[in-house]
Amino acid sequence: MRTLPIFAIALTVILAAGCNKAKSPESVAKDVSAAQQKASTDVANTQADASKDVAEQADKVGDKMTDLGNTAAKGAYDVALAKADGERKIALAKCDALSGDDQKNCKNQADAEYEAAKADAKASEVSDKQ
Has residue 16 been placed in a domain?
A: no
Question: Per the structure, how many domains does the chain have?
Answer: 1
First to last CA, the chain: 88
CA 8 to chain centre: 63
Those residues of the chain that have pLDDT short of 50 are none
Between CA 49 and CA 66 the distance in angstroms is 26
Between CA 2 and CA 80 the distance in angstroms is 99
Between CA 116 and CA 109 the distance in angstroms is 10
pTM (2 d.p.): 0.57
At residue 65, the pLDDT reads 87
pLDDT of 49-67, one tens digit each? 888 888 888 888 888 888 8
At residue 87, the pLDDT reads 94
Has residue 34 been placed in a domain?
A: no
> Where are the alpha helices (H) located in the chain, listed in sequence order?
3-19, 25-95, 100-128
Has residue 8 been placed in a domain?
A: no
Has residue 14 been placed in a domain?
A: no
Continuous segment of H or E residues that includes residue 22: none
CA 23 to chain centre: 52
Has residue 23 been placed in a domain?
A: no
Q: What range does the domain containing 115 cover?
A: 42-130
